[in-house]
């Protein structure tokens, strides 16, 4: 039979592993699936044509900007409406996906 000390350490190790995995980045497959709404306006090529590029950003910057729109700290009604439907998992997934795309 395992001691309480062994069980406690095992649980703490498991929790640490799960916690670090949650912050390792978003699901790129989910991000690609969700990206259709973004790429209606933002071009995957990275060309701007008056609309800022969102490809090749580092994930933390992408998340920060999207949350600023979601929290209405940045002024753009279209972006505020779109981001209001996204949860943290969606935003992390989009950030991971768009970070993998290099402008060309």
Residue 54: other Cβ atoms inside 10 A: 24
Residue 25: other Cβ atoms inside 10 A: 14
Query: Is residue 9 scored above 60 in pLDDT?
Result: no
Question: Residue 11 — φ and ψ, nearest 5°?
Answer: -65, -40
* Residue that wins the pLDDT comparison between 46 and 8: 46
Confidence of residue 7 (pLDDT cuts 50, 70, 90): low
- What integer pLDDT is reported at residue 23 of this predicted model? 39
pLDDT in tens, 17-26: 443 333 348 9
Give the mean model confidence (pLDDT) for residues 49-62. 94
The overall longest dimension of the chain from CA atoms, in Å, is: 67
Give the mean model confidence (pLDDT) for residues 80-94. 97
26-99: what fold? Cytochrome Bc1 Complex; Chain D, domain 2 (1.10.760)
Confidence of residue 49 (pLDDT cuts 50, 70, 90): confident
| Stated pTM of the model | 0.75
């Amino acid at each position: 039979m395992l001691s309480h000390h062994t069980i406690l350490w095992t649980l703490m190790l498991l929790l640490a592993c799960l916690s670090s995995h949650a912050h390792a980045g978003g699901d790129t497959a989910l991000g690609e699936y969700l990206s259709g709404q973004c790429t209606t306006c933002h071009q995957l090529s990275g060309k701007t044509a008056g609309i800022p590029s969102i490809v090749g950003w580092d994930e933390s910057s992408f998340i920060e900007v999207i949350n600023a729109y979601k929290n209405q700290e940045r002024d753009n009604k279209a972006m505020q409406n779109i981001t209001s439907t996204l949860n943290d998992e969606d935003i992390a997934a989009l950030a991971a996906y768009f970070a993998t795309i290099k402008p060309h």
